[in-house]
Amino acid sequence: MPPVPARWKGHCQSGEAFNASSCNRKVIGARYYRSGYEAEEAATEVFSFISPRDSSGHGSHTASIAAGRYVSHMNYKGLAAGGARGGAPMTRIAVYKTCWDSGCYDVDLLAAFDDAIRDGVHILSVSLGPDSPQGDYFSDAISIGSFHAAARGVLVIASAGNEGNQGSVTNLAPWMITVAASSTDRDFASDIVLGNSANFTGESLSLSEMDASARIISASEAYAGYFTPYQSSYCLESSLNSTKASGKVLVCLQADSSTESKLAKSKVVKQAGGVGMVLIDEADQDVAIPFAIPSAIVGKEIGNKILSYIKDTRNPIAKISRAKAVLGSQPAPRIAAFSSKGPNAVTPEILKPDVSAPGLNILAAWSPAAGKMQFNVLSGTSMACPHVTGIAALIKAVNPSWSPSAIKSAIMTTATILDKNRKPITVDPSGSRGSAFDYGSGFVDPTRVLDPGLIYDTQPTDYKAFLCSIGYDEKSLHLVTRDNSTCNETFTTASSLNYPSITVPGLKDSFSVTRTVTNVGKPRSIYKAVVSNPVGINVTVVPKRLIFNSYGQKIKFTVNFKVASPSIGYTFGFLTWRNRNARVTSPLVVQVASSSSGLLR
């Protein structure tokens, strides 16, 4: 790496198992924050290093995804061996450690945002968020901190959350990029071979293998003590009878809403003498786990076939192989089942998530302090977020003067809603077609982001007008902005924010939205509007052609929505500005109001 730029104002804090001298030309800043932790957890034992050092592995994993340098020997205990690098390997890293064993505290998060902005970072990657959507934009520290970052030209990218339900997406503010998680075309899998020669594949990171086939039973048959067969079917702690389970492969269940560790279930089976486990995940999340014994996770469909085999066979047997890396086994990308989904619970007029990126079974760097290995496989929107961070860093390097919203627009409008087979992106577990509530504008496409053609640019004053339009008064605004902002300039509705996606909830009859695009492509260029109408909605665009004569030229256009045939729920379409060289695509999301409660006219 070249020398650290003179403009950098950050520094490295020393602490337990970490010296300031540990920083270098790659890791140029390292701070930690404990005020909130100490105020809330003063009497508890601390297991994390009291320093910027990573004791959990999560920070190392996400940082390497965004900006890791090339390594030739990357693997997970021999699996998926090969060379790899992060998204922007020449990007420098500054670490702001705000989370501890008991969680993250707002005062620490806000202090970290303040320091990062003052230090001179260009992009903040925030792989964390509240447990559920907040009631307003200023009820959580990430929303507040990212507002100040955006106002000072710092782009914030955050994870969408791992709840997986409709309306569960978090990090909802329009001034940040919110990232959903999707799959890649690589799986970590183990084979389950039954006595009737049926072969099923399940997700696993278990590197042990059964020496021979063994009897396979439902865990409900091995119930112990005061536990019922139903309870033991979930392989709860102490629920299995070792006499019944010993030497057998057990089929255990994992409920949709269960918070119990899948790894813990394999330990329960092992403790009872079981030699293998098939775990039926009712949520079909496809997340690979490093189990304590030969094990594999299957969905409900395959799980029911295995249970039927057990029921219909006098002496059912099975053998589970060690895990292997499998390439190209399924269409990719697919949206991960755990990835939190829209609509936006605070302001439905702003589509969230914004985009999707790889977040399922991601191999990346690991902290040796969190386990004696250099690399690990994790799943979550935490892993998807830094994929977008790396792409944003590349855009910033090529276009250093671009605003955070310009970079965001380039990422969103060049995303794709097609998988590698050119078919619509699907959603686990059903394989049904996804929507903008699953993937936002689509799956990020790094090959197109540097030449988006047009961008939707937004200034900090626009965000203030947006807040005024949704009911914030000047007193509330000042508590956050810390300036003399007024609500003299406001929008008619929140849909008027110059956002790269367009969402119209509660459409009663007709409604119009105005947007402004800036030419960042060829100085002389013409774009034509191509519309895919949401079901039951007629969409017209005025003007239908945009004629640019110079770089940086701005042109306004209006999108008109008209109810053609009322439908229930949200419908989805898209608007693309197209020419020979570029496609600038925005999702169109419309909800028709019921006859008794129209919101928009």
Task: Please report the pLDDT score of residue 417 as a whole number.
Answer: 96
Q: Nearest CA to 385 among 218, 176, 226?
A: 176
- Using 50, 70 and 90 to split pLDDT, how confident is the model at 601? very low
Taking each continuous run of H as one helix and of E as one strand, the counts in the chain are 13, 31
Phi, psi values for residue 321, rounded to 5°: -85, 165
Give the start-end residues of each E strand in 490-524: 502-507, 510-519
- In which band, very low, low, confident or very high, does the pLDDT at 596 lie, cut at 50, 70 and 90? very low
Q: Whole-number mean pLDDT of the chain?
A: 93
Dump pLDDT digits (tens) for 527-569: 999 999 999 999 999 999 999 999 999 999 999 999 998 878 8
496/515 Cα distance (integer angstroms): 7
Q: Is the pLDDT of residue 256 over 80?
A: no
3-class secondary structure per residue, 353-381: CCEEEECCCEEEECCHHHCCCCEEEECCH
- As for how many domains the chain has, the answer is 3
CATH of the domain at 410: 3.40.50.200
Residue 139 is predicted with a pLDDT of: 85
Per cent of the chain over pLDDT 90 is 82
Together in a domain, 513 and 540: yes
Regarding whether 278 and 238 lie in a shared domain, the answer is: yes
What is the mean predicted confidence (pLDDT) over 2-11?
A: 95
The answer to whether residues 242 and 300 belong to one domain is: yes
Which SS3 state, helix, strand or coil, does residue 436 take? helix
314, pLDDT greater than 60: yes
Q: Which of 222-226, 332-336, 368-372, 479-483 has the lowest mean pLDDT?
A: 479-483
Residue 212 has pLDDT above 70, yes or no: yes
CB 84 within 8 A of CB 358: no
Asked whether residue 19 is assigned to any structural domain, the reply reads: no
Instruction: Say yes or no: 287 and 223 in one domain.
Output: yes
- State the pLDDT confidence band at 597, using cuts at 50, 70 and 90: very low
Residue 475 within any structural domain of the chain: no
Residues 265 and 350 in one domain: no
| Domain encompassing residue 237 | 186-326
The torsion of the CA quartet 413, 415, 416, 420, rounded to 10 degrees, works out to 160
Residue 488 lies inside a defined structural domain of this protein: no
Contact in structure between 234 and 243 (CB atoms under 8 Å)? no
Inter-residue contact 159 to 382 (CB < 8 Å) = yes
Residues 374 and 304 reside in one and the same domain: no
Residue among 526, 519, 515, 521 nearest 588 (CA):
515
Residue 226 lies in a domain: yes
With cut-offs at 50, 70 and 90, classify the pLDDT of residue 598.
very low
471 lies in a domain?
A: no
pLDDT tier for residue 282 given thresholds of 50, 70 and 90: confident
Same domain, 176 and 210: no
Among 433, 450, 467, where does a domain finish?
450
Confidence category of residue 599, pLDDT binned at 50, 70, 90: very low
- Domain end among 326, 347, 369: 326
pLDDT score for 474: 85
Residues 180 and 266 in one domain: no
Residue 595 has pLDDT above 80, yes or no: no
pLDDT tens digit string along 15-41?
A: 998 999 999 999 999 999 999 888 887
pTM of the model: 0.94
pLDDT band, very low/low/confident/very high, at 166 (cuts 50, 70, 90): very high
193 and 314: one domain? yes
User: Where does the pLDDT of residue 42 fall: very low under 50, low under 70, confident under 90, or very high at 90 and above?
Assistant: low
Residue 7 lies in a domain: no
> Is it the case that residue 46 has pLDDT exceeding 70?
no
State whether 427 and 503 are in the same domain. no
Q: Looking at the domain assignment, is residue 214 inside a domain?
A: yes
Which residues are registered as beta bridge partners of 77? none
Task: List the CATH number of the domain containing 533.
Answer: 2.60.40.2310
Both 132 and 256 in one domain: the answer is no
CA pair distance 203, 57, nearest whole angstrom? 22
Q: Which residue has the higher pLDDT, 469 or 428?
A: 469
Is residue 108 domain-shared with residue 180, that is, in the same domain?
Answer: yes
Question: 469 lies in a domain?
Answer: no
389-431 pLDDT tens trace: 999 999 999 999 999 999 999 999 999 999 988 999 998 766 7
Residue-level pLDDT at 257:
55
Domain containing residue 213: CATH number: 3.50.30.30
Q: What percent of the chain has pLDDT over 70?
A: 97
Contact 294, 210 (CB under 8 A): yes
Q: Are 174 and 348 in contact (CB under 8 A)?
A: no
Which domain-ending residue is among 272, 296, 326? 326
